[in-house]
Amino acid sequence: MVSKQSLSFLSSQQAFKDFLSSLKSLVKDRFISNPAIVYIKSSDHQLTCEKSGIEFNVKILESLGAKPSATKETFSTGEKKDNPFLPPFEEGQFITDLLSEHRMIFNKYCVCDEHVLVITKEFESQLVPLCVEDFKNALMVCKALEAMLFFNCGYNSGASIPHKHMQVIPYKGFQGYCLPIEEAAKRHYQTLPTRAASFELPAFSNIKHQFLSLKEAGISFFTEEIEMENPEELLTSQATILQQAYTKTLEDLGYSGKSESRHDDYNLILMREFLLIVMRRQEGVKHSDDPKKNIMVNSLGYAGTIAVKNVESLEYLRELGPITVLEAIAKPKVI
């Protein structure tokens, strides 16, 4: 059991590699037949955008069970009662303590295998910007699980719990072990005459967003073998670079939130090669006549994976087009 870790696993390169390997095995072993997890069955469908050629993966969720939904009041008041991210946890939900004031638990409602959450041990609002310690744990867990990470900030971003948490899903949980938007970003980035760290995706031309090339920003933690004399120093350095780049990207996008009382909602997606931030204005697209056709979107939608509740909402998504839906719920790009 990897629990209540000291910093001993950061003492050497081999100790750190062993820790990452044990973390991966722990998640894999405990996910199987876990009593805390409600596995949501889904069927996969593909929707291709004619203009961009991007093929979105759409999942029809067969049952959402008793999954809770957020309200604007939950986020505006910082409601802490009935917090599922504080002990005591359901049997099987807790995985391990991580660095600093963080721990890892299983996501209760899973569509993808081994979906985990990196959470703060004490209540901290989901509206508070990510800090270096958040990114240290994010990088470490993503490296261990060969995963992507996303962060829904605010009610309009698709967040459902006001307690600060980052969500991590291994790439093996996605069709083709890849994300459609990440693949589109790679293709576009290779065509740019100069490789700047920040860029925009043409398919998102009406969306207020920004991509960051991790390599150009100096972050090689995901893609390269770990060769280090001091793992703790490297992890802190890489997390600091990432946190500074994240902060600058938010500023470039006009982010106004430095506190819970004054903030903008956004989605953050950390992928193998890129960081993507999208500014949000509403949680989804609602059909004027038929609520069954409503389409709610969190960060995964901007990675190219959209979950819908039924065939009716799938057909409405097909009618509108995925990019049109993503444009409708994001803040528009101002030229």
- Which residue segment(s) compose the domain that 137 sits in? 7-329
CA distances from 309 to 121, 248, 298, 301, 333 (A): 32, 36, 14, 14, 29
Residues 242, 129 contacting (CB under 8 angstroms): no
Q: Which amino acid is at 296?
A: M
pTM above 0.85, yes or no: yes
Question: Does residue 146 lie in a domain region?
Answer: yes
Look at residue 227 and tell me if it is in a domain: yes
Q: CATH number, domain at 99?
A: 3.30.428.70
In-domain check, residue 56: yes
Q: Across the strands, what pairs with 307?
A: 59
Note the pLDDT of residue 82: 84
Largest CA distance in the chain: 62
Mean pLDDT of the chain: 90
Q: Which residues contact 169 (CB under 8 A, 6 or more apart)?
A: 112, 114, 115, 147, 148, 149, 150
What's residue 9's pLDDT?
79
d(CA 23, CA 1): 9
Q: H-type helices in the chain, by residue range?
A: 13-31, 72-77, 132-145, 180-191, 214-217, 231-252, 311-320, 322-329
- Sign of the CA dihedral running 91, 39, 290, 314: positive
Q: In this predicted structure, what is the pLDDT of residue 1?
A: 41
What's the pLDDT score for residue 334? 81
The alpha helices in 66-127, defined as continuous H runs, are: 72-77
Contact criterion met (CB below 8 Å) for 173 and 113: yes
The percent of residues above 90 in pLDDT, for the chain, comes to 78
Q: What is the pLDDT of residues 196-215, one digit of tens each?
A: 899 999 999 999 999 999 99
If DSSP codes are grouped into helix, strand and coil, which group holds residue 2? coil
H helix count then E strand count, the chain:
8, 16
Residue 29 lies in a domain: yes
> Quick one: average pLDDT of 119-132?
96
Is there a cis peptide before residue 180, judged by omega within 30 degrees of 0? no
Instruction: Please report which confidence band the pLDDT of residue 141 belongs to, taking 50, 70 and 90 as the band edges.
Output: very high
Give the pLDDT of residue 207: 98
User: Residue 202, by phi and psi: left (phi above 0), alpha (psi -120 to 50) or beta?
Assistant: alpha
Q: Is residue 204 part of a domain?
A: yes
Is residue 334 assigned to a domain? no
Q: What pLDDT does 143 receive?
A: 94
Token pair, residue 286, equals: 């609602």
1 is a domain residue? no
Please give the pLDDT value at position 131.
97
Tell me the pLDDT tens digit for each residue of 66-119.
565 666 666 655 556 789 999 999 999 999 999 989 999 999 999 999 999 999
Q: Is the pLDDT of residue 2 over 50?
A: no
Cβ pair 113, 30 in contact under 8 A = no
Q: Is residue 2 part of a domain?
A: no
Domain count, the chain: 1
Mapped onto helix, strand or coil, the DSSP state of residue 39 is strand
